[in-house]
Structures are given as C-alpha cells and as structure tokens.
Amino acid sequence: MNWILLIIAGLFEVGFAACLGKARLATGHSVFWWYTGFIVCLTISMLLLIKATQELPIGTAYAVWTGIGAVGTVLVGILFFKEPADFWRLFFITTLIASIIGLKAVSH
C-alpha cells in the first residue's frame, strides 16, 4: 500500500511541476488557477510522501518520489511543452526508470 501511495505522490509531483510550467505561459486570471493547482498538487504530494515514509526507508522513498517526478516531468515537457526528445535524453530517462525499479526490487 505504501508503494502505491508513493507512486501517487510522485504523480502529484509531476502535477505541480506541470502547473508551474503552465503558469509561466499563462496570462490574466488563469495564472491564479495554475498556481492554485500547483499548491494543491504540492500539498497532496507531500502528505502522501509523509504517509509512505512511515513504513518505507526515507532514502528509498525520496529517491523513488523524485525519480517518478523527474521522469514524469520530462515526459510532460516532451508531450505538452514541445521540449526536445533526443536519444540521450530518452536514454537517461530510461536508466532512471530502471533505477527506480531496482530500488523497489531491493527494498524490504
């Protein structure tokens, strides 16, 4: 269950990073809504991370949380913000995913 909470926390980390990206591009009142989304996603992400670390080792949980956030944010950037998707970027994202899976595999 804690791993599921940690994955969801990581997805909300992607949400708050995406909201920051959209807020940067927004104008008028929509900026307020993007920053509101940022605060909501940040709060949920942190609360779920706190809950997950009650049972998981902090080092492993934090590495997985940031890894999910990093991978998800890069993918959001590629898909929605038209950031480059060159070979080396995708290669290192793949190694990051393999590292996250490895941490899960060796955790008790």
pTM to 2 decimals?
A: 0.88
Instruction: Please give the full DSSP string across 62-98, using - where no structure is assigned.
Output: HHHHHHHHHHHHHHHHHHHS-----HHHHHHHHHHHH
- In Å, how far are 21, 65, 85 from 60, measured between CA atoms? 27, 8, 28
Residue pointed to by tokens 């791993």 = 3
Query: 23-75: per-residue pLDDT in tens?
Result: 999 999 999 999 999 999 999 999 999 999 999 999 999 999 999 999 999 99
Find the domain containing 25 and state its range: 2-106
Q: In the structure encoding, which two tokens stand for residue 106, read together?
A: 């060796």
Q: CA 20, 15, 37: angle at the middle one, nearest 5?
A: 65
Structural domain count, the chain: 1
Query: 6-35: per-residue pLDDT in tens?
Result: 999 999 999 999 999 999 999 999 999 999
pLDDT for the residue 104: 86
Checking if the pLDDT of 108 tops 80, the result is no
Q: Classify residue 41 as exposed, middle or buried by CB count within 10 Å of its CB (0-12, 13-18, 19+).
A: buried
